[in-house]
Amino acid sequence: MTWCANVARFLFLSLCFLAPAAVAWPVDWIHDVEAGKEKFIKLPKVDWFEVDDPKTLAVEWVAESKELMLIGLKPGRATVLLGADGKVAAWRVRVGTPPVVDAAVTAAATKACPDLKVTPLEEVKLTVTVQDEGCRKALLALFQTDAFEARHLDLTFEGKVLQTQLKQVQDGLLLTTKGKVKARYVGAGLILEGPVTIAEHRKLLWETLRRTLGRFALDDQTEKPDPPTPDAGVP
């Protein structure tokens, strides 16, 4: 089963994906902003957003100009989830800090995934078959560095790896929704079903980010109320 995360740059920037997607490592986009300064990013629409470290980064939606304002508060790194029209994106924002690239983590992934191929000058920069759990874990560590963004990947998954990953997702759903939401794969697509509050839905998206590899088609069939006006929060 294959899911290629090679999607055109402007689709990620605008949140207009080909289909609703689940966040997963790596992030879709990496942005830099200096501490004490602001950065404005033009977007067609944002329904909601959350920041995992609001002491490092503040985020505001400027409806008049349709811009997301990133406000660097102190040096560090923060992850932002953004939602629009049922679609979700994950951004990493570096506030006055250099890129994180770990040679040891890269070497470990290369060792654990025998056919891993990196072509830095190509649009798809990493191609790999995720054959077993050792390879999946090594790639999870690699994709949490700044070496790749989601559109840089072409991942092929063995069925047994998706089953292991599904168990990880199910554990996260049990933690966040007490078993109200169920997850299953159909092919390489992840289906979520069950009633949730807005807060529970945000939490399960964070758990999906933390537990899954690459970008998968998500059929989000959860039953939830309409989101409130865009604001910042902690998952």
Instruction: With H, G, I as helix, E, B as strand and everything else as coil, classify residue 18.
Output: coil
Decide if 18 contacts 30 (C-beta within 8 A).
no
Query: What value does the mean pLDDT of the chain take?
Result: 85
End-to-end CA distance of the chain: 31
- Tell me the C-alpha distance between 123 and 154, whole Å: 10
* pLDDT tens series, the chain, 235 aa: 444 333 333 333 334 333 334 457 899 999 999 999 999 999 999 999 999 999 999 999 999 999 999 999 999 999 999 988 878 889 999 999 999 999 999 999 999 999 999 998 888 899 999 999 999 999 999 999 999 999 899 999 999 999 999 999 999 999 899 989 999 988 767 888 999 999 999 999 898 888 889 875 567 788 877 766 555 454 4
Structural domains in the chain plus CATH codes: 26-95 (2.60.40.1080)
Orientation angle between helical segments 133-143 and 159-177, nearest 10 degrees:
60
- Tell me the C-alpha distance between 187 and 3, whole Å: 10
Decide if 149 contacts 30 (C-beta within 8 A).
yes
- Tell me the C-alpha distance between 213 and 163, whole Å: 13
Q: What is the pLDDT of residues 22-55, one digit of tens each?
A: 457 899 999 999 999 999 999 999 999 999 999 9
pTM comes to: 0.81
Output the pLDDT for position 23: 56
How does DSSP classify residue 151?
G
